[in-house]
Amino acid sequence: MLTWRRLHVKVRAAHAPLTSRLVTRQHAWTHGHLTSCLKLSTSTALRKDFFKDVETTFVEMKKKAADALPSSNWSPFYINPNLPPERADIVIVGGGVMGWSIAYWLKKMENSRNGMRVVVVEKDPVYTQASTVLSAGGIRQQFSLPENILLSLASADFLRNVNEHLNVYNEDPVDLQFNQSGYLFLANEKVAHIMEENYHIQSQFGAQVSLLSPTQLQERFPWINTDGVALASYGLENEGWFDPWSLLNGFKRKAISLGVIPCTGKVTDFDYTVTLAHMYDQDVMVRRVKSVKVQMPNSPEYQPVECAIVINAAGAFSAKVTEMLRVGSGDKYSIDGIPFPVEPRKRYIYVFNCPDGPGLDTPFLIDYSGVYFRREGLGGNYIGGASPDEENEPDAGNLDVDHDFFVEKVWPELAHRVPSFEKLKVTSSWAGFYDYNTLDQNAIIGVHPLINNMYCATGFSGHGLQHSPGVGRALAELILKGGFETLDLSVFGLDRIMKQEPVLERNIL
């Protein structure tokens, strides 16, 4: 603006000798040397202004030119430093405890440093909806499938020596705050035989579990009301609960120190090729991922990451990842039409305080009605909840807590089982998602038959945290060595999903 005015005035001043004297007299210096168009401005005299500005512009231009010379790091294009690398070997979609466990084990088992580039993509760095940090944090060996028992034992082994595995030089050791309190399952007459059979399988595979009759139970835990209980199964060792956040951070810190690249972003799309194959007596389209499109948070900016292998560890949202590859949206009667059977299911956890409640020996008690609770800290606080029935599943669109559920479904059973819980006060609550496997509520581990280079480690339906060290190791072996070595988890393969043959846990609830 000022420049134009200056020019304007300059032109006028230049015009002065060319125009008639009458005209110029109109623009005579009646108000000193300031002409009428500059009268209202607050700047100084015209001539001085121009030269001073020229000097500063020269200085700026000189600085810009110096910046653009080769030895400086200025670049006219701004590159977002948080973008993932353009090429990676393995991209892990999902930065929960499973994703970071796999990343840690991959780096631990690679043969040479920087042998492969592993990128972990997590869309939410504060983990507001992630199942890991919202879980109750328990670990138990009381399953009926031998693979589940062995996975839990291997994970307990890992947690026992967690600082040998996850210790980073010059940093604090990992403190899991593990409570060695055991799990206590209560069964009524209808399901007592299942519990006994499970007990035999568990003892056979090395779990330290003991069976208790109602009298023994009453003598051991005097605060329990054994009405309706026919048999109880009590874990003596390697069972309890711990802090999931410290395990997640331990894995993350150690993996990053071994060279894994973390990335905050959302996987929105895949670039893939399609080939025709004949599988399960059908002609199917088999996809192969070429690159993963990672979008930066709150920005339309994205980076396509070319990769060799994609690992789907997205937990409750794993189905969205396979949907991007159009798996599950094909013809209903072909295996192309079978959607990925993992969906988020909301579960509530309520924190309540009962000053007269059971003391330090409270195990993680799970009743045959589906209600569970455990001790939290030393101040008479407990954490409890219940699994809802199939028909009354809460809406999994958000993480809002339904307090009526506690009053109607959880509290009566709790008060029936532990009489001192008749007087309790709910202090807080939260909700989290299970990565619920709609087929058989067991893990899904292995290569996807329809996606050549996608490995899945999801669908744990509430047991992901306690199996994460074992599953991480198994998947790393599968990728790097071609097959399972320490634990054979082929029973959890995706074959059963294509054939729709569930592998069920015989639980008492």
Partner 1 sequence: MRLHDVCPSRPAVEPVMSAHFMAGQPWRFYRTLHRCGKHSAPLWAPARLWSSSSESPPLHTRALLFLTQRFYDVELLMGLNSELKRRTVQWKNSYNSYARQRLGMNIALAHFVLRLKGGFRYVGQDDWFRVDKRGKFSWDFLNHKNTPIEEVDLSHSLINFTGLQSLEGQQSLRTLSLRGCSQVDDWFLARLHIFQNSLEELNISDCPQITVGGLAALRNLRGLRYLDISSLPRISSPGLVVILLEEMLPQCHIVATGYDLSMFQDTVEDEKEIKEQGKTDNRHGSINKVRCKYCILMGVKEVTIHHGNKAVPLKIIHFCFKKYSPSLTGTANNWRGRLF
Residues contributing to the site for partner 1 (CB under 8 A): 71, 108, 112-113, 160, 164, 169-170, 177-182, 208, 236-238, 240, 359-361, 378
- The smaller minimum CB distance to partner 1, of residues 135 and 318, is found at 135
Residue with tokens 């810009």: 64
- Minimum distance of partner 1 from residue 71's CB (angstroms): 6
Q: Between β-strands 138-139 and 266-279, what pairing exists: parallel, antiparallel or unpaired?
A: unpaired
- The smaller minimum CB distance to partner 1, of residues 178 and 421, is found at 178
- The smaller minimum CB distance to partner 1, of residues 109 and 261, is found at 109
- Minimum distance of partner 1 from residue 399's CB (angstroms): 28
How is residue 257 written in tokens?
């120190």
How is residue 274 written in tokens?
């399609």
> Can you list the pairs that 106-115 forms with residues at least 24 positions away whose Cβ atoms lie under 8 Å?
106/260, 106/476, 106/479, 106/480, 107/255, 107/258, 107/259, 107/260, 108/258, 108/476, 109/476, 109/477, 109/480, 109/481, 110/480, 113/259, 114/259
- The smaller minimum CB distance to partner 1, of residues 239 and 336, is found at 239
Task: Say how far apart CA 417 and CA 419 lie, in whole Å.
Answer: 6
Judge whether 155 and 467 are in contact, CB under 8 Å: yes
Output DSSP code: residue 336. Answer: G
- The smaller minimum CB distance to partner 1, of residues 132 and 362, is found at 362
Which residues are 457's β-sheet partners? 445
Judge whether 304 and 291 are in contact, CB under 8 Å: yes
Q: Where are the beta strands (DSSP E) in 402-448?
A: 425-437, 444-447
- Minimum distance of partner 1 from residue 371's CB (angstroms): 22
- Minimum distance of partner 1 from residue 398's CB (angstroms): 33
- The smaller minimum CB distance to partner 1, of residues 243 and 505, is found at 243
- Minimum distance of partner 1 from residue 175's CB (angstroms): 9
Task: Say how far apart CA 350 and CA 95 lie, in whole Å.
Answer: 26
- Minimum distance of partner 1 from residue 241's CB (angstroms): 9
Instruction: Please report which helix (H) or strand (E) contains residue 166, including its range.
Output: helix 162-166
Q: Between β-strands 266-279 and 282-295, what pairing exists: parallel, antiparallel or unpaired?
A: antiparallel
- Minimum distance of partner 1 from residue 136's CB (angstroms): 15
Residues in the chain: 509
Closest of 272, 319, 266 to residue 291, by C-alpha: 272
- Minimum distance of partner 1 from residue 291's CB (angstroms): 28
- Minimum distance of partner 1 from residue 307's CB (angstroms): 24
- The smaller minimum CB distance to partner 1, of residues 238 and 461, is found at 238
Please, what is the Cα angle at 498 between 492 and 502, to 5 degrees?
50
Closest of 344, 270, 280, 334 to residue 302, by C-alpha: 270
Task: Say how far apart CA 333 and CA 319 lie, in whole Å.
Answer: 19
- The smaller minimum CB distance to partner 1, of residues 164 and 390, is found at 164
- Minimum distance of partner 1 from residue 89's CB (angstroms): 18
Please, what is the Cα angle at 91 between 88 and 93, to 5 degrees?
155
Task: Say how far apart CA 331 and CA 336 lie, in whole Å.
Answer: 6
- The smaller minimum CB distance to partner 1, of residues 179 and 312, is found at 179
- The smaller minimum CB distance to partner 1, of residues 142 and 291, is found at 142
